[in-house]
Amino acid sequence: MSFESFSHLAGTWGLLALLIMFIIAISYAFWPNNQEKFRAAANLPLDDQEEDHS
């Protein structure tokens, strides 16, 4: 496989693969069932309770 053919393959199918991964990541982030999990994670730095991890 020459560099030109590999470059063309990466430019077309690579872009499509990255676009699909981006759509999956955005869908996961905005999925309604994940809302409470992300809200809890966002509030972790503001949590005043100290947990003992001994």
DSSP state for residue 33 in the 8-state scheme: G
Q: Give alpha helix (H) positions in the chain.
A: 3-9, 15-29, 35-43
Tokens of 22: 């981006």
Residue 1 is predicted with a pLDDT of 82
Tokens of 34: 């994940």
Distance between CA atoms of 39 and 30, rounded to whole angstroms? 12
| Contact by Cβ (8 Å): 28, 34 | yes
| Contact by Cβ (8 Å): 37, 46 | no
pTM of the model: 0.62
Residue 51 is predicted with a pLDDT of 66
**What tens digit of pLDDT does each residue of 16-41 get?**
999 999 999 999 999 999 999 999 99
Residue 54 reports pLDDT greater than 60: no
